[in-house]
Amino acid sequence: MNNLNIEKLVKLGLQINEAKTYLALLEIGKGTITQISNLSKLNRTTGYDILERLGQYGLITRSKIGNKQIYVSEPPSRLKQFLENKKASAERRLESVGGLISELESLHKKESKPVIKFFEGREGIQNIYLHTLESQSTIYSILDLDQYLPEFQNFGDQYVKERTKKGIKEKVLVQKNEKGLEFYNKIYSKSKHRREFTEYRWLDPKKNFSPATEVNIYDDKVIGVLVKPGENVAFEIQSKSFANSFRLLFELAWEQAEKLK
């Protein structure tokens, strides 16, 4: 029995013992539970359960010859139908999960104390941005693109596409520098749709301060992303009062910031 084929079948969704049993039956074409169990090196009790499942998948059939129960392998092309059925089943579950999530949310006990989470590395930083795609409110962002680019250029482009697709608005305070202008012109200036969901204002470059790469305020969360050399970390603080305080400070800065011309 080819171990590589077992691995491939497992990747397609079969359990390892299902893959062994299925391959054993393919090799002999048809056989009794004893013959199949001996070839797959599984006990008869386990073999019965597995063969029943393979029958439900449409990969084998069951018949009788005299008093003997015989299992017959279906053509390997039936694997495609097996996968199509799994896909359809997953799509149905996905459609129905919304109602269940709403019910479970009502049971979920949320802590009143602030919850702080840390994320490290490039993947961790990208993951924390994906959290904002669940926002139920406008995202308030303070951003220094001079620190953000070029490492996150492509990710930033894809993120903006997904955010505008979801209809999530964002107000952005950006350090006015060459990279900030370049990013805005590339991502927003030629797209009216994106500009409908994103408003930029510039922070005075003459002010002597260097912000974190980005700070986002949304719903009851504040996230910070730090990608300067030696940092490469992100954090998320979940606290309604903390987020409201940052939102207030953002609005004060927003009123003083330079509007796009």
Rounded CA separation 143/180 (Å):
9
Q: Are β-strands 30-31 and 68-73 bridged in parallel, bridged antiparallel, or unpaired?
A: antiparallel
Span 171-176, average pLDDT:
88
Q: Are β-strands 170-175 and 198-203 bridged in parallel, bridged antiparallel, or unpaired?
A: parallel
Length of the chain: 261
Backbone φ/ψ region at 258: left (φ over 0), alpha (ψ -120 to 50), beta: beta
Q: What is the pLDDT of residue 139?
A: 95
Q: What is the pLDDT of residue 228?
A: 73
Write the pLDDT tens digit of every residue in 81-126: 989 988 888 888 888 887 788 777 777 666 567 888 888 888 888 8
Average pLDDT, the chain: 85
Write the pLDDT tens digit of every residue in 156-168: 888 888 999 999 9
- Confidence class for position 212, pLDDT limits 50, 70, 90: low
- Which helix (H) or strand (E) covers residue 45, if one does? helix 44-57
Q: What is the pLDDT of residue 207?
A: 67
Its pTM stands at: 0.56
Q: What is the pLDDT of residue 106?
A: 72
**CA dist 221 → 15, 117, 138, 238, 251 (Å):** 41, 11, 12, 4, 16
Q: Give the domains, in start order, of the chain with CATH numbers.
A: 3-78 (1.10.10.10), 115-259 (3.30.870.10)
Span 23-49, average pLDDT:
88
